[in-house]
Structure 1
Amino acid sequence: MKAYYSNRAKSYEEVYFREDPIRQAELIQIKDVLKEKFIGRDVLEVACGTGYWTQYVAETAKYITAIDYSEEVLAIAKEKQLLPSKVSFVQGNAYKLNQLAKTFNGAYANFWFSHIPKENIFSFLEQFHEVLESGSIVCMVDNMYNEGMGGTLISKPNDENTYKIRSLASGQQYEIIKNYYSKEELTTIFEPFAVDLEIHMNTCFWIVTYKVK
């Protein structure tokens, strides 16, 4: 996973500029939700990548601590030259968020949740919520399954996860975890942590928002 996104870093944001009016409308909706939800909040961004979403949330948030495991994508994020008074980009492990040694009253993760092995979801969410204050706002966004988009989907015997085979322009191929969820599954996953849980299943993306119990 790290190798794939590190090697794809320079071309990663191309995914946001596909000429698809439905997709573009939904991306605008995501931007609007993020900017509205995090007004004036001290926010944690998990798996920030190249800082594509960070730049929009920074318009309204009080401060963003944006973490990613890949130095290559963080280097591109820092080139956006977002104000240090508003954003810090930090190399960090999404499964060890307590190492940040602070708490937040808002958090989001865009296009990260689908890469979590299903057997690790509960442990990830437990430690994720440990760094969030009660009443914090959370937003998670990820892909709906659309056949033919983003590589070939495969499954494996005795494995509850699904995977995508993805190719880079160089011809390198990678197999990465990519899980897709129904509204019912997302409800079951997030309900134990959530107040005012809202789940929107669109054509290209789903959006989960809630307040932390």
Structure 2
Amino acid sequence: MKLYYSDRAKEYERVYFRDDPIRQQGQINIQGTMKEFFKNRNVLEIACGTGYWTQFVQQEAEHITAIDFSPEVLSIAKEKDIPSNKVTFLRGDAYNLESITGNFDAGLANFWFSHIPKARIQEFLKQLHFKLGEGSRIFMADNVYIRALGGTLIKKENDENTYKIRTLENGSKYEIIKNYYTETELRNIFGPYSNDLEVHYGQCFWWISYTTR
């Protein structure tokens, strides 16, 4: 996964410019919801990639510390026209947030949740909530499964995760974890952590928001 996203860095954002009105409207909705949700907040962004979503959130947030494991995507993110006083890009591990310094009252993880092995979901969420503390706001968005898009979904015996084969422009192929969730599954996963969970389940994307207990 780490090698895939490093090699894919220069192609990363093309997925957001597909000629599909439904997808484009979904992305606009996510942008607007995030900007309002994170207004005046100190945000810890997990797996920020090339900073595509960061550039929208920073317009309303107090500050964002955006982390990613890949130096290649972070290099592209740092080239964006984003004020340095609003965003700090750092190399970091989503499963080891203790090493990230700062006081945060919000967390963002867009298009990362589907790549988490299901056996590590609770590990990830518990340490994220511990890092942020009670009363913090969390927002996540990811893909809804569409059969004809993104290649064949691969299932393996005795493996609860699903996978997809991704081919880059240079012809290299990678098998990556890509898990999809129903609305009910999302409520079951995130519901225990909040009293105000909101789940939006659209045609192309889902997004959830809540305040930590």
TM-score range relative to shorter protein: over 0.9
Unaligned runs of 5+ in 1: none
Residue 149 of structure 1 aligns to a residue whose secondary structure is: coil
Partner of residue 184, structure 1: 184
Partner of residue 112, structure 2: 112
Percentage identity across aligned positions? 57
| 1:44 to partner: Cα distance | 0.6
Map Cα deviations across residues 90-112 of structure 1 (whole Å, 9 max, x no partner).
Answer: 00000001111333111110000
Residue 196 of structure 1 aligns to a residue whose secondary structure is: coil
2:120 is equivalent to residue 100 of structure 1: no
Map Cα deviations across residues 153-195 of structure 1 (whole Å, 9 max, x no partner).
Answer: 1010000000011101111110000000011111111111112
Unaligned runs of 5+ in 2: none
Matches within 5 A, 1:1-213: 1-213=1-213
Residue 90 of structure 1 aligns to a residue whose secondary structure is: strand
| 1:71 to partner: Cα distance | 0.3
- In the alignment, is the contact (CA less than 8 A) between 1:111 and 1:141 conserved in 2? yes
Residue 39 of structure 1 aligns to a residue whose secondary structure is: coil
**Which structure shows the bigger proportion of residues in strand conformation?**
1
Query: Considering only aligned residues, what root-mean-square deviation do their CA atoms show, in Å?
Result: 0.8
Which letter does structure 2 place at the counterpart of 1:153? L
Cα distance in structure 2, aligned partners of 1:150 and 1:194: 32
Which letter does structure 2 place at the counterpart of 1:114? S
Cα distance in structure 2, aligned partners of 1:183 and 1:103: 31
Cα distance in structure 1, aligned partners of 2:69 and 2:150: 22
Cα distance in structure 1, aligned partners of 2:51 and 2:78: 8
